[in-house]
Amino acid sequence: MKALCWHGKKDVRCETVADPRIEEPRDAIVKVTSCAICGSDLHLFDGFMPGMREGDILGHEFMGEVVEVGPGNKKLEVGDRVVVPFTICCGECDQCRRGNWSVCERSNRNKSLAEKVFGHTTAGLFGYTHLTGGYPGGQAEYVRVPYADVAPVKVPAGLTDEQVLFLGDILPTGWQAAVQCEIEPTDTVAVWGAGPVGQFAVRSALMLGARQVVAIDRLPDRLSMAAACGALTINFEEESVLERLAELTGGKGPEKCIDAVGLEAHVPRSLDSLYDRAKQALMWESDRAHVLREMIYACRPAGILSIPGVYGGVVDKIPFGAVMNKGLTIRTGQTHVNRWAEDLLRRIEEEQIDPSFVVTHTVALEDGPQMYETFRDKHDGCIKVVLKPGV
């Protein structure tokens, strides 16, 4: 079969590899009809994430048709149409039973590596680093889905792939980011990053009743997409984020702040005001966590920082004194997709939300390597890429 494989920094290739086969009784094989490139894939593409190996098959956002089912799988049948969450879950461990799906204690087949780096194991993820199991991903014609009787979500035929594909990751990720903000009707929610995750976080915060939602980015087409649903916008290259947020909140700052950027944070040319002074005082060496620091300074005391943005290794020089003294709450993590997927599927069916609006590019799987660059460089108005294997 054909698959997109990782060969090092900025080197993704479409290659012919062995077809996957059933390895465990609860497995299923899914023939992929649509898959997508995620901001998390860009961390691999940029070489920010440790634990990748040459030839790893990429991709954790995918859906398709079940073509083979292991003898121990009582949930799926050949012919089922499924969206596969990016988190692999056993369904039986203590964390799975509590609904903490993304920290399943059993699905990571490289537990000892995860324990060394994170202190504990976390769930296995498709198409990601070997710290999370190194499972072959879904930017491919076929995928083996381990524990396929737990996470896959069956989807009805009446909805298009583009309407349901994002149930496996970015829609629940934006939703969880907003839910964990515990939004009150008087709240201002500021969302850093108007990429696909930011777009869903903005819409989720509005659906959950925030008074105002502010989207922060530097790319006009992404800001316009956020404005189209009623968000206010800040272009961080044109104005000071901290000053504008203060202005919009009577000088107090937003109660809730969402980091939908993570590792690849772009640092504005001129850092100013409080942030600039603090930067000098602390002599920050790395600016990868720029958004995290800006959020900490922007957030109103007693507020909540919700961080779906992915961080890989060690993030340095976080002004934790500000977090502590302002009494901020931090909520973060890989998304517990299965906590939200059924409810969000219902909302799609009831036309409360149609996630397909984020898709700007639909191409064949073979064009994937080029699309990694286009999406990474934000060229050609690219916001979300959907790949179609086998066309």
Residues found near Zn ion in the complex (CB under 5 A): 38, 40, 90, 93, 96, 104, 106, 169
Tokens 């465990």 label which residue?
24
Within 10 angstroms of residue 225's Cβ, the number of other Cβ atoms is 25
Smallest separation, CB 21 to ligand NAD (Å)? 28
Smallest separation, CB 187 to ligand NAD (Å)? 20
Cβ 181 vs Cβ 187: under 8 Å: yes
Instruction: Pick the closer one to ligand NAD by CB: 121 or 335.
Output: 335
Tell whether residue 300 is a contact of ligand NAD (CB under 6 A): no
Cβ 142 vs Cβ 66: under 8 Å: no
Binding-residue pattern over the window 135 to 164 for ligand NAD, x denoting contact by CB under 6 A: ------------------------------
Rounded Cα gap, residues 222 and 216, in angstroms: 9
Instruction: Pick the closer one to Zn ion by CB: 106 or 336.
Output: 106
SS3 call for 200? helix
Rounded Cα gap, residues 300 and 213, in angstroms: 15
Residue 334 interaction partner, one of Zn ion, ligand NAD, none, beta carbon < 5-8 Å per kind: ligand NAD
SS3 call for 81? strand
Residue 368 interaction partner, one of Zn ion, ligand NAD, none, beta carbon < 5-8 Å per kind: none
Binding-residue pattern over the window 318 to 347 for ligand NAD, x denoting contact by CB under 6 A: ----------------xx------------
Q: Which 3-state string (H, E, C) describes 127-168?
A: CCCHHHCCECCCCECEEEECCCCCCCEECCCCCCHHHHHHHH
Counting every residue written for the chain, the total comes to 391
Q: What are the contacts of 265-272 at 24+ separation with CB within 8 A?
A: 265/289, 265/290, 265/291, 265/292, 266/218, 266/290, 268/218, 268/236, 268/237, 269/237, 272/240, 272/242, 272/243
Tell whether residue 195 is a contact of ligand NAD (CB under 6 A): yes
Residue 275 interaction partner, one of ligand NAD, Zn ion, none, beta carbon < 5-8 Å per kind: none
Question: What are the phi and psi torsion angles at 181 (to 5°)?
Answer: -80, -10
Rounded Cα gap, residues 157 and 2, in angstroms: 26
Q: Which of 3, 58, 223, 291 binds ligand NAD (CB under 6 A)?
A: 291
Q: Which of 129, 173, 180, 235 binds ligand NAD (CB under 6 A)?
A: 173
Tell whether residue 197 is a contact of ligand NAD (CB under 6 A): yes
Q: Which of 104, 113, 164, 194 binds ligand NAD (CB under 6 A)?
A: 194
Instruction: Pick the closer one to Zn ion by CB: 82 or 150.
Output: 150
Rounded Cα gap, residues 177 and 195, in angstroms: 14
Q: Which of 198, 253, 254, 303 binds ligand NAD (CB under 6 A)?
A: 198
Binding-residue pattern over the window 228 to 267 for ligand NAD, x denoting contact by CB under 6 A: --------x-----------------------xxxx-xx-
Residue 90 interaction partner, one of Zn ion, ligand NAD, none, beta carbon < 5-8 Å per kind: Zn ion
> Given the rule CB under 6 A, which residues bind ligand NAD?
38-40, 42-43, 169-170, 173, 192-198, 216-219, 222, 236, 260-263, 265-266, 290-291, 308-310, 334-335
